[in-house]
Amino acid sequence: MKPTLMLLALVLTLGVAEASDVFMTKDAQGHPIYTDRPEQLPAERLNVKSNTTDTVEVQKRYEAEMKQLGSTSDANDDTAKKQSSAAQASKTIDEDRAKRCQEARDRYLKLMNSQRLYEQSPNEAERRYLTDAEMDSAREDGKRVMDEFCGEP
């Protein structure tokens, strides 16, 4: 709303403005001063030409610029959403990796600190204790899994 009011004020101001003579004088330090009423003479009269403003053309240009800004804003919003989604996904992956690492480390420590290891039978009524070779293999697998989850990504 505010840009529309500013545009309207600008158009009205340009419509009211009329061409007049422009003079250039210099102050005591030699800096140029441009005015329509020179305070001192001699003043150099400048040939300045002005054109009338086509309000319809200004309105079309303004609408095109607003449309372009809107599409740019939408693109920026989409980019921000994608970056936010990527950051959230990365955070979730990191949390999952840390959880799996901790679980693998706990399992490996349990395997290393246990004197006897066993497997539960399918009906969960009986246990089968592992041999020394099977325990070493289970510990190696535990170490490999821990290194896989706790190593560098």
Q: Model confidence over 39-55: pLDDT tens digits?
A: 777 777 777 777 778 88
Of the two residues 11 and 101, the one the predictor is more confident about is 101
Q: Is the pTM of this model over 0.95?
A: no
What is the residue type of 150? C
Residue 11 confidence class, pLDDT cut points 50, 70, 90: low
The answer to whether position 113 is within a domain reads yes
Q: Of 148, 147, 152, 150, which is closest to residue 102 (Cα–Cα)?
A: 150
What is the residue type of 111? L
The answer to whether position 118 is within a domain reads yes
Instruction: Specify the number of domains making up the chain.
Output: 1
* Sign of torsion over alpha carbons 36, 40, 42, 44: negative
The answer to whether position 72 is within a domain reads no
The answer to whether position 139 is within a domain reads yes
The answer to whether position 30 is within a domain reads no
Task: Compute the chain's Rg from CA coordinates.
Answer: 40
Mean pLDDT taken over the chain:
81
For residue range 122-143, what is the model confidence (pLDDT) as tens digits? 777 788 888 889 889 989 999 9
In sequence order, the 6+-apart residues with CB closer than 8 A to the CB of 114 are none
What dihedral angle (degrees, nearest 10) is formed by the CA atoms of 17, 19, 20, 26? 90
Residue 70 confidence class, pLDDT cut points 50, 70, 90: confident
The answer to whether position 127 is within a domain reads yes
Check residue 102 and give its pLDDT.
92
Assess contact for 105 and 150: CB atoms under 8 A. yes
What is the residue type of 141? D
- Scanning the chain, the segments in alpha helix (DSSP H) are 2-16, 55-113, 132-150
Domain that holds residue 129: 92-153
The answer to whether position 96 is within a domain reads yes
| DSSP state at residue 130 | P
Residue 82 confidence class, pLDDT cut points 50, 70, 90: confident
Tokens (6 digits) for 68: 């372009």
Tokens (6 digits) for 149: 């989850």
The answer to whether position 75 is within a domain reads no
